[in-house]
Structure 1
Amino acid sequence: MTKGNELIFRNFVLLATFTGGVITQFSNENIFVVDMSKVGLTHVPKDLSPKMEVLDMSQNYITELYLSDLRYLPGLKVLKLSHNKIWCLDFSIFKFNRKLEYLDLSHNQLKNISCHLIPNLKHLDLSFNDFEAPPICEELGNLTELTFLGLSASRLQLDLMPIAFLHLECLFLELGHYYMKENERKSLQILNTKALHFVFHPNSLFSIQANISVKALECLQLTNIKLNDINCQVLMEFLSELTRGPNFLNFTITHIEITWKCLVRVFEFLWSKPIEYLNIYNLTIVEKISKEHIIYPRTALKAVKIELVTNRVFLFSQTALYTVFSEMNVMSLTISDTHFIHMLCPKVPSTFTFLNFTHNVFTDSVFQNCYTLVKLETLILKKNKLKGLLKVGLMTKGMLSLKTLDVSGNSIEYNRQDGNCTWVGSIMLLNLSSNMLTDSVFRCLPLNIKVLDLHKNRIRSIPNDVNNLEALEELNVASNALTILPGCGTFSSLSVLTIDSNSISKPAADFFQTCPKIRSIKAGNNPFQCTCELREFIQRVDQASRTVVEGWPDSYKCDYPESSKGTPLKDFHVSQLSCNPALLMATIVGIMLVVAIAMTILCVYFDVPWYLRMVFQWTQTRHRARNIHLEELQRNLQFHAFISYSEHDSAWVKNELLPNLEKEDIQVCLHERNFVPGKSIVENIINCIEKSYKSIFVLSPHFVQSEWCHYELYFAHHNLFHEGSDNLILILLEPILQDCIPNKYHKLRSLMAQRTYLEWPKEKNKHGLFWANIRAVFNVKLTLETERDMEIQI
């Protein structure tokens, strides 16, 4: 795709894909594009949209174009038909395409064209066809909007005059099949084009003899030049008129095969021309390399660039080769991809301010003890064979103006045992990336450096005892093995830090505090451990400006723990509580206190302690009952319970206690119905207590005042110790204050202090649990004969 078409295609967005090949539609606002290249077309499709503005049918098998192919595309602006098999073309087929501006018919088989041209054409490419003479006609001179014209011819004719007054940006002439009659010399005038590009046959010696005058020429490019010592003068004569103009700035040669002697002569010729930039790409040196005497005159040249040199001479003098380049009196010299093994130091103080020797095989011996590069500001030695950092430092010793040094892509190492490094003090930018440097490199750096690139090395940490690089503003340590995000303790001026693709798992939370001048940090693609230690760093990043943290949040993801792997750091949240043990403990204690207080309040409100005591008493009673043998209980028993109460509490006994006990078949002994007449009260009390499984005492303030109740309690308590059983049941009907119990009733005072009693609840919803506790005591079935009961009663 040519440059003009690239501009049109650059912003197109894919809309749809059709069947029958890779056919895509694009749309950008009002531009409608269809790409039908490389789909095997033999003719123009009939179903094209009339809205189409750009149509690409390059690299197909189309042989002819017809009026009907394009007449229904009135809005067509760009048409690409390069690399087809079109052999004949009548421009009248475009009479309905009045908006056509860009037409590419290069790399076809055209021999003849008509001249019914479209007046709005700006780009017309007819190069790489089979024209014998340039297809120039009078109508071509009327294309006042034309800026690019590509032509193809096998011979030059004077009929270029119709285009002599066009204001072209570029004229492209493909002369691959050019031939010239013997002693034929042409004079051509192409007055107004800024760029002129000639393409010749790649395997033929350069033989064009023509005087071509271009008044406004700024850039000249020659492609496929083959020269030997004999026809070397032909090229220089060809260039004489072209390189004379006052606006001529840029001369480029691509794919040139030349002898060393001819190359030196070409340099001598161009050095006196008003050229500012000389570019040579894909240079092949043939035959031999011998010493050539050359003295460079004062020149307008500013920069010489030579890229991709192939040397077919295997035995030659290194001095002869390198002297030609080292003595050039230009400011900028680039010699890259040449496999040169060395470069000489200039013999006298040089004008070089920029040297670029990328992708050669220079060793540590280059520029050692060189004191003539005093004006050199930038030195690039990328992708060479440099090995010692100490040697690199010594190389700069005499380069008093050096500011930028790029030695990336070598095999440079440094051990502290090598000695102290010596650098020129003017270096501000140092690129040591893609080498074999370790942590010790920080002890061998220029003190005044501002920009340092150390990415793709073997650095594991930044030592604490490094030299204070107070001027350092930018540091790139990406793609190393760093495990800690360094602070700015020794880099007080650091403002840009690149540390992505390392092994950093826990960045220091105080990084932004130690680096107050930081304005850009790139730390993504590291194996972050998403734990509490990362929490504060994430907060700091969120607080920082998004322009400070580059790549956030897409390249910042968790690597550990496994459950969080791949989670963006911005989505990783952990509470401050879980990350602060002291705060967590204080919170737990606080919560427990609140819960305890709440439970206490709830227990008091719902009378939970009463329920708990009753359940505990029921459980204890059941436990004791299971441990007493049934035969022992039934031996002398007649009643389940003897009830002792005050007369003042008789109503409760008869209305509440008795009904609930007797409905459960519990035999109850009451003094008013079970005392034997004729016996004393004390004898009856003792007799009833001994013949009852349990003794129930209904306690109340009235009970305390009853002397007989006290006797009953005394005898029951005596029976408790005598029999070794637990036969007392204390029911607290009403509260009794300890101070209200007379001192003489110490038995009652002791029992209430030591034994658990059942409280009669006032609330009806609690009565069920109270009676369940009473019934749990009486699990013994009385099996006494009825006759025996009657005898005892008589």
Structure 2
Amino acid sequence: MDVSNHWTMPRALWTAWVWAVIILSTEGASDQASSLSCDPTGVCDGHSRSLNSIPSGLTAGVKSLDLSNNEITYVGNRDLQRCVNLKTLRLGANEIHTVEEDSFFHLRNLEYLDLSYNRLSNLSSSLFRSLYVLKFLNLLGNLYKTLGETSLFSHLPNLRTLKVGNSNSFTEIHEKDFTGLTFLEELEISAQNLQIYVPKSLKSIQNISHLILHLKQPVLLVDILVDIQLKTLEAGGNNFICSCDFLSFTQGQQALGRVLVDWPDDYHCDSPSHVRGQRVQDARLSLSECHRAAVVSAACCALFLLLLLTGVLCHRFHGLWYMKMMWAWLQAKRKPRKAPRRDICYDAFVSYSERDSYWVENLMVQELEQFNPPFKLCLHKRDFIPGKWIIDNIIDSIEKSHKTIFVLSENFVKSEWCKYELDFSHFRLFDENNDAAILILLEPIDKKAIPQRFCKLRKIMNTKTYLEWPVDETQQEGFWLNLRAAIRS
């Protein structure tokens, strides 16, 4: 019994572990299968699903498989072996660096293959040896430098569209590279760093109708155009994407007439739309199209300089002040343009600095408010409404006063609130063109000390007699007499 129990327990545990592995494997397979969305016609969508491998469980019922924009790094020779009816395979925008030699061997019905923008650095013709019916092949954006040591496309007699190259490492095109592509109709080559083009490399292509070249060295274009000239004549027209670089090159090449048949009459622009139908030799693009970056940079610099100049002018001529005061004045203009006579509550609003309050409150108030008949003055310290915005208090007080008295001194010029009172009174003088301001010079003050932006006020001081507070007591009675007369006027 003891021996039997000793062997029975491990065996049971072993059996349980095996079943657990099988169950987990099955669940993993079902999780991968669930990452695909397949319809009854065999179209399976698995793009942008964060897949790191080709899902298992694919069957002969799959006719279209989209696995683009994932994180797949490897394609094995068994991943697609059951997909014998597959016609479209999209593997673009992954991280594929290796495709095993027989990975596509069973895809004899494949017509569309996209391997663009992966990390393939070596290409072998054996990859495509069974794809006899393939019509579309996209190899753009991979890391290869050449199209292989042997003819890469020799097993693809029915290929109609081919896209090859990359923007960095693809530097050479040799005569063998396009051998076998007799019936190719559309060719796109991305070779911004192309350094070597062996003449006649495209000579075998006879039916091409759409050629897209991404080149930084247009001088190589002559050799390419020479290779395809027989085809383009048979196609009945030569239509080109007339980019700035292309036009710049063709318009500077006198040799084109010697290497191209019927140049320039049979060579026309197909795009951009505004030059469509024009001869390549006659087409011209605007400066903004050919030097877009420079134009945008110049526009941005001009805008920056304009803003800088506007800021300097605003600072120099007090533009911000004018905008701020205009806004406040427009708010005040919602009220009646001129207060009715019955709304005039004060004979004068007195604008003065707090540091001059002793003279105002103990001398001027006494002389005017205790005179017979008395004058009613508006002083901010006692007559402003508590809790009301001070700007509104200033505007209301000026509008409800028959006159505005400015007690000018060095203290007044430095006072922030006196500046606001002077501001709004300045607008009132300008708006109503009246004679409501009375200026009192409490002490000698340089006219230049008054801000230049108060042009109306400075003009009044230059054209109108103002009252000066006399130091001599014998002359002070005459001062008060003149002030009362000015308020009554």
Normalized against structure 2, the TM-score is what? Answer: 0.42
- State which structure, 1 or 2, has the greater radius of gyration over its C-alpha atoms: 1
Structure with a larger share of its residues in helix: 2
Structure with a larger share of its residues in strand: 1
